[in-house]
Chains A and B, each alone.
Chain A
């Protein structure tokens, strides 16, 4: 019974991991670099929401305002950090995201005080439904629903809109998409405007459970990388499957073997996947050109 409820909450957590993993892969595909700061972007935005909440008292209004602001925040980060001199190569851009990771953590520490961690107001209803003796928390259920809805929205966007088609084209072959008239720079900016609110959503789902502090996203960022590898780093929706695998396994490991092995087990899954199935569960082989 315990195992089953651990698995169920693992699936819920896994889908949140999957969402961050999706953000990583999405940014990697559209901008060429997996953003190390993706988690901390969400953390910082959650702090902003927390500030707004303290100011006016309604958590839902704060979250709504925050989501709107996070679109701008994403665009701002892209324009200030990633856009200038972006021809410097992927290694350079990768280091920029690492610098951004440090910067956001430092900014959170300086601007939002040293009294961390904070308790964050719960946005989702408490309690849960009892289903044959297993209690499923409403919050888990709702977060699963949210992530599934977002996944469906993206599938719809990729399938039915021009924008989605352009994203897929850039993801497949950025140089060719550019030649065919896709404005890659503008598309990258849009990608960050999408990533901003998604990162905030992850923060809002995580913060009530595990408090709000500047390093809150470190573990889930690592889980998300592992999930991306398991799902196949090239597969956008495979990330959710990867997230579920990582979420369930780490939940089981930390329940039965101890929390200090949770990260290690995720690392192990990642390494085993790369050894056995280098392209992950859903990825496709990459062909390099000489």
Chain B
């Protein structure tokens, strides 16, 4: 994607806001101050757009629709309804959020270009509607609408210092809300979606809802920006909300630096100050200048101004003294680790009775042919004329490790996709625990106890190991933006429990604690596979589906994954694992099914299977097969 999403952005953000607060001491020129006011007002919407794009991976080229809604609702309520301005402002923001919810729930389902084209379209349509006759009664049409000045306790908020600090206050509120959101479950879940939607869905994340939530947040703060814009301008006309401004806003976020919350504020200040300075010297080149900067940044320097700042800060730190680089510092154990350890101990205590019942019981019944956990009957998956699976019947017994082997294109991953609900079968039944799964969704199957991993782990690279596992360990991904932000008791409990489950899963796999706070981008392939298994374990499954957990690993790493799989089995979980490595299959599997061209060739113990002449034919091509 565009750039990584950052976590430790609180202090830089505070610094930027304090600098803006102190700016009037230095900037005494009135016109320059009003430039800063406009910059801050754009920044209110820009930080929301950063949550949407930088953290959630979605695009919006129409945020000024929500600016317009905030501004027009607030102004026309005051003008025609006589509503006092604070109430009108709240209603304006709410209206923007509500429309964002409505719009987003339609747009995020679009398959081809997500919300990018839809929001762009909407931006243009909104301007047409505002200038047309249909809404003239409330919006004043192309003549515009007056936004009367506001004041609070005798302080004029529409001009001078009152306006400046009013805008700063609104920006601070918007930035803090957005910052908080990125730290909630919803914010982190968004980053999984940004990484890979299918993986997110398998982890129980409600992809559509989570995307809509990000839109609602971004729309609401853009609505607040619109209200401030109305207060600042005193007069609204449709041109103020032209779709070009939406694209500019997007450009501001990219120039400032995606995924940093503070960056877009810097971008906005940079944009308006630079264009103001340029307009003093030359006429009309400011847009050209900005477009060039934007293009240069997207082509050569993805991270934007914030990233530039980070690099300078790092350079200064290394020059100042021989201290550890920042990532190693994080790896040493962030502030979260002691708390995490404590939670881990709790979880172990709580989980003990259940876990101790697991392994012993499992050992006894393992291999008992009548205790079937998962049964596939005559499963067929067809892609056009190709049958990826052709009448596959097999069962997974409680507490066993069942390996699936077969040449490329045999339908192994399709089999896992059908069981986990990613791929709907053309015919046949899948029965878990005596219950037919029918066409249950991915998330419902997860609730019934099916977890899976992927051939390519798809961890969130800019999130640490523990965070990656924890986001897979939530019991519920329901809620609204506002309950997330408020951090209700239920939300906090869910978060505590997810963290405890994550700690338990990592401890069970004996993942070294020193590596828990390393970013997933910085760990080895073998570690990624472990983290992926731990993440799937976080859902406390009864059936774990592993898609080639050994692909691309060396001998030692394979042995370590084999050990992890045995540990998981001993805790009472049944495992269906796709494998390529014969030694690995011998090590871990109780039974082994061979797939070839979508059909079950044979299903026996690994020793028997690997002796079977038909299997030798399939894998080594000895003799004529058909």
Contact = CB atoms under 8 A, between A and B. Distances in A.
- Chain A bound to chain B: yes
Interface in B90-119: 106, 109-113, 116-118
Contacts of B248: 102
Contacts of B251: 98-99, 102
Contacts of B302: 88, 92
Contact of B124 (A106, A222, A288): A222
24 contacts: A88-B302, A89-B2, A91-B2, A91-B57, A92-B298, A94-B116, A99-B298, A102-B287, A103-B292, A103-B295, A106-B287, A106-B290, A107-B291, A110-B287, A222-B121, A222-B124, A233-B112, A258-B134, A262-B128, A263-B125, A263-B128, A267-B121, A275-B106, A290-B547
Contacts of A110: 284-285, 287-288
B11 interface: no
A95 to B, nearest CB: 5
A260 B294 contact: no
Nearest to B61: A98
Given A81-B299, A98-B250, A99-B251, A260 B124 contact: no
Nearest to A286: B111
A100 B295 contact: yes
Interface string A244-265: 0000000000000011111110
B535 to A, nearest CB: 16
B288 A106 contact: yes
A96 B298 contact: yes
A146 interface: no
Interface in B271-322: 284-285, 287-288, 290-292, 294-295, 298-300, 302
A260 B128 contact: yes
B287 A222 contact: no
A290 B422 contact: yes
B565 interface: no
B243 A105 contact: no
Contacts of A290: 198, 413, 417, 422, 454-456, 547
Nearest to A262: B128
A99 B296 CA distance: 9
B233 interface: no
B562 interface: no
Interface in A198-229: 215, 218-219, 222, 225-226, 229
Contacts of B132: 258-261
Contact of B129 (A92, A260, A274): A260
Interface string B239-279: 00001100110110010000000000000000000000000
Q: Which 5 A-B pairs have the closest CB atoms?
A: A260-B132, A103-B291, A106-B287, A106-B288, A102-B291
B324 interface: no
Contacts of A143: none
Contacts of B72: none
Interface residues of B, number: 54
B1 interface: yes
Interface in A168-223: 215, 218-219, 222
A264 B122 CA distance: 8
Interface string B197-227: 0100000000000000000000000000000
A218 B2 contact: no
Given A222-B120, A287-B383, A99 B291 contact: yes
B347 to A, nearest CB: 31
B133 interface: yes
Nearest to B132: A260
Contacts of B128: 259-264
Nearest to A260: B132
Interface of B: 1-2, 57, 59, 61, 106, 109-113, 116-118, 120-122, 124-125, 128-129, 131-134, 198, 243-244, 247-248, 250-251, 254, 284-285, 287-288, 290-292, 294-295, 298-300, 302, 383, 413, 417, 422, 454-456, 547
A208 to B, nearest CB: 23
A222 B295 CA distance: 22
Given A34-B113, A105-B287, A109-B284, 11 more contacts: A36-B120, A101-B247, A102-B287, A102-B291, A109-B288, A260-B131, A262-B128, A263-B124, A274-B110, A278-B111, A290-B198
A102 B111 CA distance: 26
Contact of B125 (A98, A233, A264): A264
Contacts of A264: 125, 128-129
A114 interface: yes
A102 B109 CA distance: 27
Contacts of B118: 267, 270-271
Nearest to A83: B299
A90 B47 CA distance: 23
A160 interface: no
A55 interface: no
A286 B61 CA distance: 25
Contacts of B300: 84-85
B133 A260 contact: yes
Nearest to B294: A99
Nearest to B112: A233
Contacts of A101: 247
Contacts of A84: 299-300
Contacts of A96: 295, 298-299
Contacts of A270: 118, 121
Nearest to B116: A94
B256 to A, nearest CB: 13
Interface in A47-65: none
Given A95-B298, A103-B288, A218 B247 contact: no
A222 B1 CA distance: 25
Contacts of B198: 288, 290
Contacts of A109: 284, 287-288
Contacts of B299: 81, 84-85, 96
Contact of A267 (B122, B284, B547): B122
A239 B122 CA distance: 21
Nearest to A271: B106
Nearest to B288: A106
Contacts of A85: 299-300
Contacts of A267: 118, 121-122, 125
Interface in A274-290: 274-275, 278, 286-288, 290
Contacts of A258: 132-134
Contacts of B292: 103
A218 B121 CA distance: 10
A190 B294 CA distance: 26
A84 B112 CA distance: 25
Contacts of B417: 290
Contact of B1 (A89, A105, A107, A215): A89
A88, A110, A287, most chain B CB atoms within 10 A: A110
Contacts of B57: 91
B294 to A, nearest CB: 4
A100 B547 CA distance: 42
A229 B116 CA distance: 13
Contacts of B383: 287
Contacts of A36: 120
Contact of B111 (A106, A219, A271, A274): A274
Contacts of A275: 106
Nearest to A225: B117
B452 to A, nearest CB: 10
Nearest to B107: A271
A225 B59 contact: no
